[in-house]
Every structure is written in structure tokens, then in C-alpha cells.
Structure 1
Amino acid sequence: MEPNIPRGAEEQSTAYLMEDSDFSETAKFISQILMEENIDQRPLYDTLTLQVTEKSFYDALTGNIPLSPNPNQHPLLLSPQAQTTITEHGLSDLDSSLQQNLFNDADSVSHFKRGLEEATKFLPPVSNLVTGQYPNGEQPINTFEGNSYGFQSRKNHEREEIDTREEEHEGRGHKQSALSLVDETDLSDAIDRVFLSVENVCIEHSSLQNGALKPKAPEVGKGRSKKQGRKKETVDLRNLLLMCSQSVYANDIRTANELLKQIRQHSSPVGDASQRLAHYFANGLEARLIGAGSGAIGTFSFVSSKRITAAEFLKAYQVFLSATPFKKFTYFFANQMIVKAAAKAEIIHIIDYGILYGFQWPILIKFLSNREGGPPKLRITGIEFPQSGFRPTERIEETGHRLANYCKRYNVPFEYHAIASRNWETIKLEALKIERNELVAVNCHMRFEHLLDESTIEVNSPRNAFLHLIRKINPDIFTQIIINGSYDAPFFATRFREALFHYSAIYDMFDTVITSENEWRMTIESELLGREVMNVIACEGSERVQRPETYKQWQVRNTRAGFKQLPLNEELMAKFRSKLKEYHRDFVLDENNNWMLQGWKGRIFNASTCWFPA
């Protein structure tokens, strides 16, 4: 029997191709969120933190796992700062009676305090352990060079391992961030201009001054000058990290600490790519040495970090969107395939697993508004991890309100349904409220790595269960974008090595396309990438939620679950190849077995494809 290929999926008409101007809707959407009241004070809606802390507190309170699995360790090896953070963001949301039941034994409280005091004596300074902290309390210089977003021009990547940028950094005067010189409206206009013409991102160098964009000459290699006449010590930080990981794996604490000391001497969160990478990998190794992969360290690594605000995340995300083609291409890819499948549909129902802020959908909304014959009705079911506290769906519902306002602006009929769930594979089919005569599209954008797999303590694979749920939904199209990684091994040494290679490429990419002093680059590297690294290295079992697989592994999983791939749209791929020329030459766009692959210098970071029930 011929498979039910979605309507319009085989058409290759330019009438359905989105344009660059459509992507500016994402920039406008982010700018509008930044102008919301109290956005600067609101904590980041961080799904990774939500998943880890919720699991940690649940297990601790119900007794599923001990807080300190090693009997020779004191319970909860946390600093006083971490204790305060946990109290503020975790136990404060619990029912008061539950707290009384937990701490009603005076002797238990006394023993806990004494153990905590003893444990903190053995902790290193917090700034050396927690990601997002800077030495001696220093904060990064808010300097933007090259253009308003701090992008660098093309250059030679062959550089020495150790750079003297830190010395120049210390001697450089602190400048006020250029972004602080403009109000939100001007910032929004500037961002719109960037997205309307990608050339502004990759070729034109400009700065935000007095509320306007003023071009200036490119400053090639700025920030990379080295002091002359100074003998440099060459250190192989990657090899030191590998040796240290082997010592940690062998429980050779003395050697591990000696190697960590060497790594600390030559690494820095404000250095070059290898120095920054080494700094955050050293954080993970140090945390693992202290906690031996315990649940306590898993909680500590997330809730005691800087906890950036939503506004800080959004501004950092703008930089990432502008400097790299990854999100632009993946959003276009998924939306284009949905549009082609729904060419004649009167109702489109998108079930979005991991909707977060909904950045993907303003592009689609604008495009649907211009559809010949009028826009269809758009239904979105937004699924996300629950927010802690008594209003688990609050942030997911806020995303729905923002999307509803966008649909109202473009006269697109809209309906939204929010679902908060920690275990997506257990969501019941009836909870999705699928109706007859609607085209159903399931979308999951780079969130599969947060599902547990066979290498965990789980008996049944949540990943396979999740795919079987999608198969029961029987969608017309299933758009899948995954982080392509091979650092999901249950064996620490193998996982560490693969993670080192993967994140080396990511830090090198940022070092190439964004200037060293860009504060939003530092935010990405410390509060997002740095905490991912911490989770991969320091956590085990259900605490380790960064578990990416390769696209080839997902190919096998999906095929076994009863899905068949749709072919790539060659016209769209040709457009992507043309657009890629406007970015740095080391960005990679390739295809294999109907997967669109993106990466840097030959290493594939993410992969995109579409499926339908076989």
C-alpha cells in the first residue's frame, strides 16, 4: 500500500519558498519580548535547570535516591551560597506541611548543619567551581568591536594555544556597552535591519551610536595582537584535559588535582577558544572530583550558578541568531516542509514538543497570512517542562499569548493549548485534542537529547516510547531537528573525549565569528554551553540530561518506530547553499540520507529531516 505522503510534499514550486524578510519576524518577536514589563528581573525560563532541579528535589523528598550515595561523603556538598539558592528556588515552593515533615527532627537538623560545616571546609573557592563566575569577582568588559553585535571578519584560524589576550584585557579601559546607549525601539529597528539583510551581519561592520547604525571600516584581527619580545609557553590544554579525565576515571585524586592546577594556570573564561574551553571543562572535572557524580553536584551545578535573566538570554540569543546560520536554516527548513504539506489545509494543528519561547512560529504566521485564498486556522499545542511552583504552565501560557497577539496582527485565526509535563512520552493522546479534518504536524526542535535512553537506569527507553506516541498521533508530517553528538556514552572516559571534540569546535566557532569581548558571547559560553559541559562531565544517571545521539542513530530509531522519511526539498537546499556564502567559509551545509546537516569545519552540530507514518 502506498504511504500517505502529505499533500504538496512532492511539489518543488518556488511559490512556497519563504524569503529572508520572513525571518525578520523572529527578530521582531524577540524585541517585543524584551520590551515587556519587568523582563530584566525575570529569571530565564531554563528547561535544562527545570528538569534537573525538579528531579533532584523530587527524589530527595520522596527518598527515591540518597542525596549522597557515597557513605564517606558528607550530605550535600554545597556552599552556603548554593544552600540559599536552593532554599529560594526550590523548598520555598513546597507545601509548608511537607517542609515540617522533612525537618521536624531537631537532631537531624543539628547533624545536617554539622556535616555541612565540615563539608564546606574541603570545598575550593566557589568561583573556581561554579560556571558563570569570574576570577576575583571581575566581570567581563562590555566592549563591542567590529560591529554592533561584535562579529569578526574572516581570518586565519591557525593560532597558538596560549594567547596573551588576558594581559591586554587587563590593560584595556572599561567601555560602556554600546547596546545601553539606545532604547528598546531603536534596538528593535537595528535588529530588524540585521535580519532583513544578512549582508549586514557578515560583511558590513557597523556600531550602534546615538541610536543609529553607522558603518565603519572593518577591524580585521582586532583584539588578537600579541605582545612582542615575550617568550610564550606552549601548553597542550586538550591533552592535559584528557589526562586529567583519565585520572578522574581511575580515581587517582592526587594526579587529577595536579593536572587541574596546571589547567587552571593556562585557562581563562576570557581567553582564546582553547583557554575558555579548558576553563569550563576544568569546572566539570572539579565538580566531579568533589561529588563523584552524585545527585547533589547535579543540583549544585545548576541552581547555584549565575541564573541569568530572560532579558540576558534573549540578547545573547540575538547574537547567536545573527552570527551563525544554524537557527535560520532549521526554522526555515521545518516551516517550509510544514507549509508544503499543508498547502490546501484549512486547519493546521502543530504539536510542538519543547516550545519554550516559540521563536520558530512568527515566521510561519506571517507566511500563512499571505497564502492565496486566505490564511488557514492555526492551532498550536505547546508542550514544555513545568515551571516550579504553583503555576507550572505560566511561562508556556505566556508564549501562547505572545503568539496569539502575532496572529491577531496578521489576521490568522489562532488557538493555543499549553501542556506542562516532565515526561513527554507519557502524555495521553486525548490530551492533545486532535480534531478531524485538520492537518497535524509534530515538531521537536533540538530537544530530543533531554530524553533519557537505554544507557540510563530506566528499564524502558523513554526515547522509543516518545516515538511510539508520535506514531499513535499519526501526524501528516513530523519535523525533527536534533543536536548531532556522540557524547552519550555511559562510560565516562569515552563520553569526556567525545564531548571535548564537540565543544572544541563550538568554542572555536564563537572565537572566529564573535569578538572576544562581546559580553553576550561570554553569557552563551558560561551560562549555556558551560552548564551543558558541567552536566555532561559531573553528572550521572538521571541527573545527566545532556544525551545527544547522532542522526544515524535516530535514523534507526525512527525507522523501527514505523516512520518513513520525506525527501529533502532540493530547491530549498540550493537556496541555503547560496545563503551560506554570506557567512564564514568554515560553516558547513551538507546532506546525507535525506538529512540536512549543519556544522563547523567538518564537525556536524545539528541535523534536520521530516518523517511521516509508514
Structure 2
Amino acid sequence: MANVMCFMEGFNSGAVEDKFSSSSQGFESLEYGTEACKRSRDIYSLGSDYGFHPDESSLDNGFIVTKYDQEQQQQLSCSDFRLLDGVSFNVASPPIQAYFEEMVKLAGGIQDVIEPKKEKHVQFSFPALELLNNYRSGFKRLNGEGRIIEPRNDTANTEGATKKFSTEEIFRFAGEIFIQSSSQIVDGLSMVSHPFNLSFSGLSNEEIKDVELAGFLLASAEKVGCQEYDRAKRFLNQCDSLSSDTGTPVQRIVYYFSEALKEKIDRETGRFKSKGLERVQKVDIDEAIMSPNPATLACHQTMPFAQITQFAGIQAIIDNMAEASRVHIIDLGIMSGIQWAILMQALASRQEGPIELLKITAIGTTSKHLIEDTGRRLRSFAESMNLPFSFKIVMVSDILDLKENLFETDATEMVAVFSQFLLRSMIVVPDRLEALMRIIRKISPYIMVVIEVEANLNSPFFVSRFIEALFFYSAYFDCLEACMKRDNVNRVVTESRYFGEGIRNILAAEGNERKIRNVNIDVWRAFFARFGMLEADLSMSSHYQAKLLTEKFNCGSSCTLDMNGKCLIVGWKGTPLLSVSAWKFY
């Protein structure tokens, strides 16, 4: 459930080197997208182990995509799909809602509103910005080829209506001004000459202020990247006085990015104490994701990404096991287990024949009691569906201790592996990641479904991480603006406890302390190829399922569904956020 929190703390910790293996530059070398990266090609060499060598065309944030077969889609009717959205099976069905409501009850309910903090209003002028001329590629997003769903702006079609710019567009606008600007020194700060008058750009007064605030953040990041910390602090002081964690999405983003930049400065200058680390240790992110809590449940219920990826992923399993009588699911990080309630309802209502047994094996290294709670909920749900069900937990203190025989697979079973935001959390512990993949290879499942974060947040270069994180989180903050009121307590908790900590870790931490190291699907493809994995097609049913889910959310019109090769990319207004892919072993 709470999959929207996918980019938080790692699954596992351990003192290991940052390099993926001794024979390669590892996952950290797989991030690309800036001129700085081009000047450091040796760092980005992947080596023969990966069989992947970036060239000029790949050193940006674009995607190699294939066009979606719209003609085939039109020729097929809804009755042709083995769908999850049948009369007795959909996200709003009574059984699924009962499962969800049980988790809400355990979480103590979902609260709605908090007392908003007083927002700050200060007059300011546009700062001089000197960054982004070397980072133009950071502003390239999906180009629309292979797109299944385009984002819609319903208000823009109304005659005379003023277009509301998205959060990403505000930062993109500020970045373009930043790139185009010439600068001069005024009172120790670099002040920008306006390339054009913002009042004629179609921006509202609030948006103009947001663009200017975004400019201060970009300027501070540039100075941090250049290690000009005194100058950076001046811009950060402006950010502090103008940002707010309860204001516009731009004000909220700047608030958390500013906090992260200040911590980075303290770390770099030796002023950093243990305060930051102590704060992180008080929040067990993995446990927070697994256990029902109001913030994560509210996000699952109101934001579309988790349910879209879950339904598309489960549909892929159903499509590949349509006639299997004994199904064995190996879940690499089970969380709440709501995805398996979805599968159970589908299996219980399928027409191909009765299911003899659904077996789920959950792998864990911590929080065994939470996995046991999930198992109890699933057993109860299976009983309500009259579905033969078995649940087993494989607990190991270290992934290196995982052995093939612990899964107790049977020759009569059809095995599927489901990985939801687990692999990215192990990039920081590459020996564990490789060990896990070797075990999966030995098991040789019929299908492996992988849901991951679609972002390049693993660069060794600070500015590259900053730009990518800025657009990635802008999309989430923009979505929250569309889905929840600004004073909604669950929104504030989500932004501070999860997004804020994620931003802090990406920007301020280095070495093994930097747990959040997401990479995109092209990187995973190169990695999976080493283990004999071939990408499988997601069926038309999975595509349709994803499209159907977007229509069930009030903000679903802003979701984008794109195809990157055979992989489904779920985004917000064109910014990629999550990926769903299916794999087979040869």
C-alpha cells in the first residue's frame, strides 16, 4: 500500500563500498544527464559486465520509446481482456474496501486538517541565477512518443480561463530564465537582468513570486555546487524568509530543499553534528511504510500512482498464470499486502478453473511482527473468498543468508516473483543485491514483476542529483496540491516525514549514508541482462487496467502513461515517476 513513499529509506543497511562490484563502476556510475557528466566519462563507463555503453545520445534524461499500438487497442473490446475490473473485482469493490478499511482502523483513522502555519509574505526582486546553462538536459522530460495517455488541463479549455502552471513548469520557467540571463554583481549578490517581463508571460502574481523564489533556490544550489558556501547562505536566507511548509507547492518544495542544502553546507564545512542522523534514526521509514498509518493510507487512497502500478503488475501475473491451478508468489517486500487481496479476488472469480492453492512467501530482514500482521489479514481475506491459501515468512538477518531451499518451491507450482520498490533500496548494498538476484535466477520463476521508481537519483555529482530530484519531487508536490487541501494533516506529514527526509538524504548525504539511489529502467535492463532476464510484453489487459485506474481518481486526468520499450511508465503531467515491467528467464 503506501507505495507512493517508494523513495524513502533503504531496505537494508550495511557497511559496503559504494561501487556495485569490483569489476565495474557500479550503479553510481549509471546516472547521467549533465554536461558535468560528459566531462567525466570515465566515471560513467559501465564496463563489459553491464554490456551498456552510454554515448552522446544517451547522456540526457530522455527515453528510447516505442509507439503504443493504438490500432490493436481499438480493435479489441473490453470483453477481450481478462480484466481486474469486473463486476466482482475492482478497487472499489466491497471486499477490497473491507481490507483497506481494516488497515485504516488499525492506523487509528485518517485525519484531514491541521491548523495552518502563518505564511510569510516578503517583497523581493528576482535574483541573478548562474546555474543551469550546463544542465539543460535536466529539463528534458518525456517527449510523448509511445504515450498511452496524455495529461489534460480541463480548465484550459474554458474560454477566457487562465492556464494554471504546474509546479514543474514554474521551476522549468525559472530555469530557462536562469539559463538565458546575464549577471552583474550587486551588493555581493549576483542579480539577473530580466530577459523579458514576467508580467507578460501569462503568470499570475502568485506564480511570478513562485518563479522568483525558485530562482533563489537554483542560485543557492549553484553556489553549493561551486562550494561558495557564504554566497549560498545568502540565497538560502532568502529561501527561508519566503518559503513555507504549508504554502504553495513551490514554497513547500523550496522549504525542504533549503533545509537539505543547509545541512549539506554544514556537513561540508565540518559544522554538522549528529542532529540530522538522530532525526533519521527516530523515523524507521521501512516500518512506517509497512505498518498501516494515516498518512500512507491517505496517499494510497487519493493519489493514483500506487494503485495504477499495483493493478498493472497484478494483471501481468494473472495474464501469465491464467490456467495455473497452484500459484506461488514470492514477495520481496510485502508491505501491507493489499496487492494480494487484489490477486485473490481475481483468482476467486476467474473462469479458467478453480485455484487449488495460492501460496505467498514473504521475504524480510526486519519487522517480522508487521509481516505477520499482513499474513493474518491475507488469511482472513482468503477465507472470505473461499480461496485455498498458504502464507509463509522467510526471515533472514542478512540477504546474504538467503538460500534457495528456504522458499520450498514445488514442481507442481507456477512461481512468480513480485518486487515492489525493493531493488532500488539495495543499490547501496550491491553485494546483497547481486546475491538476491542469483537466488532468484536459481529459482527461475515463470514471471517476475518489478515496480520501481523511475528517476535518476544516483549521480555522484551533486548538481545532477539536485536537478533530477527537483523535478521528481515537484511532480509529487504538484499531485498532492491536486489531491489534498493545503492544511490536510496527512499531506503535511507525507511531505515532511517522507519527502523531506528523502530530499535531505539525496542532497546532503554521501557515501553509505546516502540510501536513496534510484536509477531508471534503462539501467535496470542492463543489470538484469547479467542474470539472463528478458523483458516480457505487458499485455493489452495491463495497459487497459492502468488507463481504467486513472479514470477512478479526481486528479487522474493529469496522469501520463508511457511505454519505454516494453515497460509501462507512470507519470504526472509528463514527468516519469514509477515503472512497471515484467521479466522472464532464459
Q: How does 1:181-220 map to 2 (within 5 A)?
A: none
Note closer, same or farther for the CA distance 1:362–1:478 as it changes in structure 2 (3 Å cut): same
Note closer, same or farther for the CA distance 1:416–1:577 as it changes in structure 2 (3 Å cut): closer
Q: How does 1:71-220 map to 2 (within 5 A)?
A: 156-158=163-165
Q: Secondary structure at the match of 1:546?
A: coil
Give the whole-Å Cα distance in 1 for the aligned partners of 2:234 and 2:395.
Answer: 46
Contact 2:333 2:419 (C-alpha < 8 Å) held by counterparts: yes
Note closer, same or farther for the CA distance 1:154–1:270 as it changes in structure 2 (3 Å cut): farther
Give the whole-Å Cα distance in 1 for the aligned partners of 2:435 and 2:214.
Answer: 38
* Partner of residue 23 from structure 1, selected from 91, 103, 110: 91
1:608 matched residue in structure 2: 580
Give the whole-Å Cα distance in 2 for the aligned partners of 1:586 and 1:409.
Answer: 36
Contact 2:325 2:354 (C-alpha < 8 Å) held by counterparts: no
1:238 has 2:197 as partner:
no
* Partner of residue 340 from structure 1, selected from 299, 316, 319: 319
CA positional deviation for 1:269: 0.7
Give the whole-Å Cα distance in 1 for the aligned partners of 2:330 and 2:348.
Answer: 20
* Partner of residue 302 from structure 1, selected from 255, 268, 280: 280
Contact 2:421 2:451 (C-alpha < 8 Å) held by counterparts: yes
CA positional deviation for 1:452: 2.1
Contact 1:298 1:535 (C-alpha < 8 Å) held by counterparts: no
Give the whole-Å Cα distance in 1 for the aligned partners of 2:439 and 2:273.
Answer: 30
1:32 has 2:102 as partner:
yes
Give the whole-Å Cα distance in 2 for the aligned partners of 1:426 and 1:475.
Answer: 20
Give the whole-Å Cα distance in 2 for the aligned partners of 1:408 and 1:313.
Answer: 22
Give the whole-Å Cα distance in 2 for the aligned partners of 1:295 and 1:347.
Answer: 55
* Structure 1 stretches lacking a partner, 5+ long: 1-10, 42-131, 138-151, 163-225, 388-392
CA positional deviation for 1:370: 2.1
CA positional deviation for 1:346: 2.4
Contact 1:291 1:297 (C-alpha < 8 Å) held by counterparts: no
Contact 2:316 2:542 (C-alpha < 8 Å) held by counterparts: no
Contact 1:356 1:384 (C-alpha < 8 Å) held by counterparts: no
Q: Secondary structure at the match of 1:35?
A: helix
Matched to 1:27, the amino acid is Q
Deviation digits for residues 430-457 of structure 1, max 9, x if unmatched? Answer: 222222211111000122221125xxxx
Contact 2:210 2:250 (C-alpha < 8 Å) held by counterparts: no
1:428 matched residue in structure 2: 403
* Partner of residue 378 from structure 1, selected from 358, 382, 407: 358
Q: How does 1:354-365 map to 2 (within 5 A)?
A: 354-365=333-344
* Structure 2 stretches lacking a partner, 5+ long: 1-75, 120-152, 157-162, 172-202
CA positional deviation for 1:556: 1.5
CA positional deviation for 1:470: 1.6
Contact 2:291 2:335 (C-alpha < 8 Å) held by counterparts: no
Q: Secondary structure at the match of 1:561?
A: coil
Note closer, same or farther for the CA distance 1:610–1:297 as it changes in structure 2 (3 Å cut): farther
Give the whole-Å Cα distance in 2 for the aligned partners of 1:295 and 1:595.
Answer: 43
2:241 matched residue in structure 1: 265
CA positional deviation for 1:133: 13
1:397 matched residue in structure 2: 372
Give the whole-Å Cα distance in 2 for the aligned partners of 1:551 and 1:310.
Answer: 23
Deviation digits for residues 536-573 of structure 1, max 9, x if unmatched? Answer: 12222222111111111111211222011221212431
CA positional deviation for 1:339: 1.7
Q: How does 1:528-567 map to 2 (within 5 A)?
A: 528-567=498-537
CA RMSD of aligned residues (A): 3.7
Percent identity, aligned pairs only?
Answer: 25
Contact 2:309 2:570 (C-alpha < 8 Å) held by counterparts: no
Note closer, same or farther for the CA distance 1:298–1:467 as it changes in structure 2 (3 Å cut): farther
User: TM-score, normalization: structure 2?
Assistant: 0.65
* Partner of residue 441 from structure 2, selected from 454, 471, 475: 471
Contact 2:115 2:487 (C-alpha < 8 Å) held by counterparts: no
Matched to 1:31, the amino acid is E
For this pair of structures, how many residues does the alignment match?
A: 425
Give the whole-Å Cα distance in 2 for the aligned partners of 1:482 and 1:15.
Answer: 25
Deviation digits for residues 177-226 of structure 1, max 9, x if unmatched? Answer: xxxxxxxxxxxxxxxxxxxxxxxxxxxxxxxxxxxxxxxxxxxxxxxxx9
Deviation digits for residues 510-545 of structure 1, max 9, x if unmatched? Answer: 223332222222222121211111211222222211
User: TM-score, normalization: structure 1?
Assistant: 0.62
2:494 matched residue in structure 1: 524
2:265 matched residue in structure 1: 289
1:487 has 2:448 as partner:
no
Give the whole-Å Cα distance in 2 for the aligned partners of 1:571 and 1:587.
Answer: 18
Q: Secondary structure at the match of 1:16?
A: coil
Matched to 1:543, the amino acid is E
2:224 matched residue in structure 1: 248
CA positional deviation for 1:290: 2.8
CA positional deviation for 1:581: 4.8
1:415 has 2:393 as partner:
no
1:501 has 2:477 as partner:
no
1:50 matched residue in structure 2: none
Deviates more, 1:417-426 or 1:501-510: 417-426
Task: Identify which of structures 1 and 2 has the higher relative contact order when contacts are C-alpha pairs closer than 8 Å and 6+ apart.
Answer: 2
Give the whole-Å Cα distance in 1 for the aligned partners of 2:284 and 2:441.
Answer: 40
Give the whole-Å Cα distance in 1 for the aligned partners of 2:304 and 2:347.
Answer: 23
Give the whole-Å Cα distance in 2 for the aligned partners of 1:233 and 1:451.
Answer: 40
Matched to 1:444, the amino acid is S
CA positional deviation for 1:246: 3.3
CA positional deviation for 1:374: 2.3
Matched to 1:401, the amino acid is R
Matched to 2:344, the amino acid is I
1:367 matched residue in structure 2: 346
CA positional deviation for 1:318: 3.8
Deviation digits for residues 12-59 of structure 1, max 9, x if unmatched? Answer: 9846311164323443222112334xx449xxxxxxxxxxxxxxxxxx
Contact 1:27 1:318 (C-alpha < 8 Å) held by counterparts: no
Deviates more, 1:296-305 or 1:360-369: 296-305
Note closer, same or farther for the CA distance 1:612–1:584 as it changes in structure 2 (3 Å cut): closer
Give the whole-Å Cα distance in 2 for the aligned partners of 1:405 and 1:351.
Answer: 19
Q: Secondary structure at the match of 2:91?
A: helix
Q: Secondary structure at the match of 2:90?
A: helix
Contact 2:416 2:445 (C-alpha < 8 Å) held by counterparts: yes
Matched to 1:587, the amino acid is C
Deviation digits for residues 129-174 of structure 1, max 9, x if unmatched? Answer: xxx999799xxxxxxxxxxxxxx98674227979xxxxxxxxxxxx
Matched to 2:165, the amino acid is E
CA positional deviation for 1:311: 11
CA positional deviation for 1:237: 3.0
CA positional deviation for 1:412: 1.3
2:330 matched residue in structure 1: 351
